[in-house]
Structure 1
Amino acid sequence: MHPTEEAAVPTRVIGLISGTSVDGIDTALVEISGTELDIKIELLAGATYPYPAELRERILAVGAGVAISMAELAEIDDAIAQVFAQAAQNIQIGHQPATLIGSHGQTVFHRPPGGAGEQGRRETLISDLARAKQQLSAKSTPLGYSLQLGRGALIANLTGITTVSNFRVADIAIGGHGAPLVPRVDAYLLSHPEEGRCIQNIGGIGNVAYIPPQHGDWLSKIRAWDTGPGNSLLDLGVEHLSAGAKTYDEDGNWAASGTPCQPLVEQWLNQDYFHLPPPKSTGRELFGVTYLHQCLKDAQAYQLNAADVLATLTELTAASIVQSYRTFLPEMPQRVLLCGGGSRNLYLKQRLQLLLTSIPVWTTDEVGLSADFKEAIAFAILAYWRNLGIPGNLPTATGAPEEVLLGEIHKGQS
């Protein structure tokens, strides 16, 4: 059957992802038809299933660079696949069964091309920006590496549903960053005939896709990159400052009770990652526990209370996003659409709106696409495209030299 004929029949697909915040498995059951510009989706069900507490702690430890044996890594890999499979089973209750799963898995390590270093240390920053630019353009630049746990083959076996996983490796293998992968989905779901838009995901790490108006060769003008910290430093800060009593700042209320320290924000924005030109990607290897501890050390000179520290970390997320727009976009957008867990942080949204002045800051909910489950929906679509033989990456976003099929297919046994 030709892909366009196959796409005429609506397909039920499950999208699964846990982001760098490791706050649970975002799960979406989606009905999809069409191919690209004509793609149509309906979100049938969406839910976030938390990790068992012990497994979450083990994942966070691995992501922070704690040394473990290969046997322990295998145990965690299997455990993640099992809870992902259970999430896929749960989301189908009360619905017709899905025929395909797209599982992003759980990222525990991400190394951009052109740079390597000891995981979890601040020294992973490229200290010489000129040298970094030269490396990134050289043919001898080392390939990137990204590891997502939660074996797709095991998910397929446990659910009986064909599962697509390991979405990042094909893009990385040809020299791309393997991130961000969602901009091609954003282009077909959220573009506008007349309006340039920034689709800003705020998970543990922030990433943006700039989608120009649908004029001429608009797809080639899309730009995307990881903007820097999203919720990662905020969640780590809350856990530290509350002595483990809290894991996140609900609605940003704690940060809203403090005052951002602008000199400290300006100091942090001088850091090399924020000035490295796209394509670029990052993760907890940079913006993790060690980075937070350095931020807390820097804050001591200003005698900030806990609320002021959180307000300042929140300001860093907002300011790094806006600075990246002003530095790297061909023009500022006419609208910003937020998604991800950070879109529910009302104080963060207010700070973004203040810094962006007259540019409206909405959520994707306001244009008909779930802000909470957009990333899970995206990996359902990427799996759907892989099944139809349609490329999923966008070279202008990942830095890859060409479009490629994303994901490895593991046949279910149903």
Structure 2
Amino acid sequence: MQRFVGLMSGTSLDGIDAALVSFDDFGSPYLEATHGEDMPTELRQVLWRLCHQTEVSFADLARAEEAFSQCQARAVEVLLDRQSLSPEQITAIGSHGQTIEHAPYGHDGGPAYTLQLDNPSRLAELTGCCVVADFRRRDLAAGGQAAPLAPIFHHAVFSQPGTWRAILNLGGFANLTLLPPSEVPSSPLGFDTGPANALLDAWHERHCKGRFDADGAWAAGGQVDRALLERLLSEPFFHLPPPRSTGREVFHLDWLETSLSGRESPQDVQATLAELTAVSIAMGLKMASEQLDAPPQLELIPCGGGARNRDLLRRLSEQLPDASLLDSESLGWPADWLEAAAFAWLARQRLLEQPGNLPSVTGAAGARVLGGVYAR
């Protein structure tokens, strides 16, 4: 048996998820243990500023990178201590890093790029483990979007005969994986559908106490502003065919405010943002289903932090009445830990020199081995 640790820090900037994934002799993965390391407030603020600056000093990047590496190392240390494991018992850590900017279409006519703040050399020193990192740029170099990367993992653990499934990650941004039944020759599709918690959290934090709208309660008490919703849905991204990916570079509070009249109730704006998330997901699923000739009767498996948002799940049920919502935990993969587990799986793929991308998802020129290896 081999053990890998996957580390994921998403666009919500709330913490680092660490997943311990073991693989049996047949290569089947099993989620053995998890730990969530809260992001220190100061580090979160620094990372937030870095995500929204056009000019950054090398010293600021170095300080943020060191603080982030220390936080990652604490997450690994706690996870291993709880399981009474030593670093020598871990084959490798798969580190996603913290996305600072993702620009698969380039910027002002320049080349495509994606930047994840990470220092795998430092993480290897701090943990005593082999580290696999920098998963995205090889796909980008091959002409892909470099995102999303989790669909190949979804395909490995959720695909089954006779059933169409859609895996919906509700993190800072929403991304969707449409899985044909395993006997169908079509390749899976996966892509970002648009904003999810990133805008909901930011708007809530501006107007209420707390960093997020627990259970979607504030949004549930508001009214959807249909005119505002239509203005938001006019964003060209929502109408692009896959492959496509996005991030804070497109969807942020300044983007939202360009569509506000100034007369809206803050709570109604929150309700409208929740509705925007649900509607844009439904639009994306319809687009993908038409491309793969998938039926509307499929299993929808929400994961990520938004999978606990009852208001958002209610809105999704209204937008997708023919879909059956399925709890990922019933399939052995709790919703909060799926992305971190994916990077443990991707680290193993790298050490096996097996592909870590799906060209049907990212648009890359072909399957590629992703990531660099940093020895313990």
- The reply to whether TM is greater than 0.5 is yes
Alignment pair present for 1:63 and 2:68? no
Shift of 1:143: 4.5
Residue number in structure 2 paired with 1:313: 273
Aligned 1:99-248 pairs, distance under 5 A? 99-113=91-105, 115-117=106-108, 143-218=111-186, 221-242=187-208, 245-248=209-212
Deviation track 1:57-85 (CA, whole Å, cap 9, x = no partner) reads 01011112253311111111121112111
Deviation track 1:117-140 (CA, whole Å, cap 9, x = no partner) reads 4xxxxxxxxxxxxxxxxxxxxxxx
Inter-partner Cα distance in structure 2 for 1:289 and 1:307:
15
Shift of 1:388: 1.1
Residue number in structure 2 paired with 1:382: 346
Residue from 293, 301, 326 that aligns with 2:286: 326
Residue from 312, 325, 344 that aligns with 1:348: 312
Residue number in structure 2 paired with 1:133: none
- Residues 1:204 and 1:309: Cα distance change in structure 2 (over 3 Å): same
Residue number in structure 2 paired with 1:21: 12
Contact 1:236-1:292 at 8 Å conserved across structures = no
- Residues 1:56 and 1:66: Cα distance change in structure 2 (over 3 Å): farther
Deviation track 1:252-287 (CA, whole Å, cap 9, x = no partner) reads 011111111122212211210001111111001111
Question: Unpaired segments of 5 or more residues in structure 1?
Answer: 1-9, 118-140
Residue from 3, 7, 10 that aligns with 1:12: 3
Shift of 1:99: 2.7
Shift of 1:334: 0.8
Partner SS state of residue 93, structure 1: helix
Residue number in structure 2 paired with 1:123: none
TM-score (norm 2): 0.94
Report the identity percentage. Answer: 39
More off after superposition, 197-206 vs 330-339: 330-339
Question: Unpaired segments of 5 or more residues in structure 2?
Answer: none
Deviation track 1:330-372 (CA, whole Å, cap 9, x = no partner) reads 3345111100011111100110011101211223123221100
More off after superposition, 251-260 vs 356-365: 356-365
What amino acid sits opposite 1:18 in the alignment? S
Structure 1's consecutive aligned runs of 4 or more residues displaced over 4 angstroms after TM superposition are: none
Shift of 1:288: 1.7
Inter-partner Cα distance in structure 2 for 1:356 and 1:268:
20
Partner SS state of residue 26, structure 1: strand
Deviation track 1:169-192 (CA, whole Å, cap 9, x = no partner) reads 111111111101011100010112
Contact 1:17-1:105 at 8 Å conserved across structures = yes
Partner SS state of residue 47, structure 1: strand
Contact 1:171-1:393 at 8 Å conserved across structures = yes
More off after superposition, 258-267 vs 391-400: 258-267
- Residues 1:261 and 1:363: Cα distance change in structure 2 (over 3 Å): farther
Deviation track 1:75-102 (CA, whole Å, cap 9, x = no partner) reads 1112111211111111111322323100
How many residues align? The count is: 368
After superposition, the CA RMSD in angstroms is 1.6
Inter-partner Cα distance in structure 1 for 2:203 and 2:327:
25
Contact 1:64-1:289 at 8 Å conserved across structures = no
Inter-partner Cα distance in structure 2 for 1:328 and 1:387:
32
Inter-partner Cα distance in structure 1 for 2:82 and 2:300:
35
Inter-partner Cα distance in structure 1 for 2:242 and 2:232:
19
Partner SS state of residue 335, structure 2: coil
Inter-partner Cα distance in structure 2 for 1:168 and 1:237:
29
Contact 1:85-1:159 at 8 Å conserved across structures = yes
What amino acid sits opposite 1:46 in the alignment? T
Contact 1:210-1:333 at 8 Å conserved across structures = no
Partner SS state of residue 167, structure 1: coil
Partner SS state of residue 101, structure 1: strand
Residue number in structure 2 paired with 1:74: 62
More off after superposition, 223-232 vs 39-48: 39-48
Inter-partner Cα distance in structure 2 for 1:333 and 1:369:
22
Residue number in structure 2 paired with 1:286: 250
Residue from 358, 361, 367 that aligns with 2:325: 361
Partner SS state of residue 42, structure 1: strand
Shift of 1:195: 0.8
Contact 1:81-1:149 at 8 Å conserved across structures = no
- Residues 1:276 and 1:354: Cα distance change in structure 2 (over 3 Å): same
Inter-partner Cα distance in structure 1 for 2:82 and 2:246:
39
